[in-house]
Amino acid sequence: MAVAGKASDRLKSLLNEAIAMEIQVSIQYMWQHVQTTGPLHHLLADDLKKIAIEEMKHAEEIAERLWYLGGTPTTAPKPIFVGKDLKEMMKQDVNDEVKTIELYKEIIKVAQEENDVTTARIFRKILEDEEEHHDFFTTVLEGL
């Protein structure tokens, strides 16, 4: 059961995994924004940059929550994959968003089991963003 400033080691570990994933994709999407070329650059670059910034904000929000719950936020991202062309980038991004969505559903479940309504609420909100990101990358990939 969550008490102010307390959480299970399992929940804290999951939050750190989420932070590492958010840092990873924020860097990954930003470099993709920089490295996208050709006519699609003008169509996608701003969206990639916007999503990268959203992901960094997610990392910050999760880190603040983890700190409140007595954990120490990681600074190490999961492995970053930029890709050599847009199709490779979008395939990776779709896969990363799927993993993130699955993780966040697990975090919501664990938070609910621990009666941590705030963490569950935070992740429900972030999950909506991640599903929008997944839709964006899936749509781009389908158009390639």
Residue type, 97: E
Nearest to 126 by CA among 43, 49, 54: 54
Question: Could you tell me if 20 and 78 are in contact, meaning their C-beta atoms sit under 8 angstroms apart?
Answer: yes
pLDDT at 1 over 60: no
CB atoms closer than 10 angstroms to residue 32: 24
Predicted confidence (pLDDT) per residue in 34-45, tens digit: 998 888 888 999
Q: How far apart are CA 39 and CA 52, in angstroms?
A: 20
Would you state the pLDDT for residue 38? Answer: 85
Give CA–CA dist 80/126, Å, rounded. Answer: 21
Residue 129, domain member (yes or no): yes
Residues 13-24: pLDDT tens digits?
999 999 999 999
CA-based diameter of the chain, in Å? 53
Average the pLDDT over 57-77 and give the result.
Answer: 97
Number of domains the chain contains:
1
Alpha-carbon distance of 21 to 62, in angstroms, equals 11
CATH of the domain at 102: 1.20.1260.10
Question: Is 30 a member of any domain?
Answer: yes
What is the mean pLDDT of the segment spanning 103-132?
A: 98
Separation between Cα atoms, residue 144 and residue 88, nearest integer Å: 10
Is 33 within a domain? yes
**Within a domain: 1:** no
pLDDT higher than threshold 70 for residue 5: no
Contact (Cβ atoms closer than 8 angstroms) between residue 119 and residue 11: yes
pTM to 2 decimal places? 0.94
Structural domain that includes position 75:
9-143
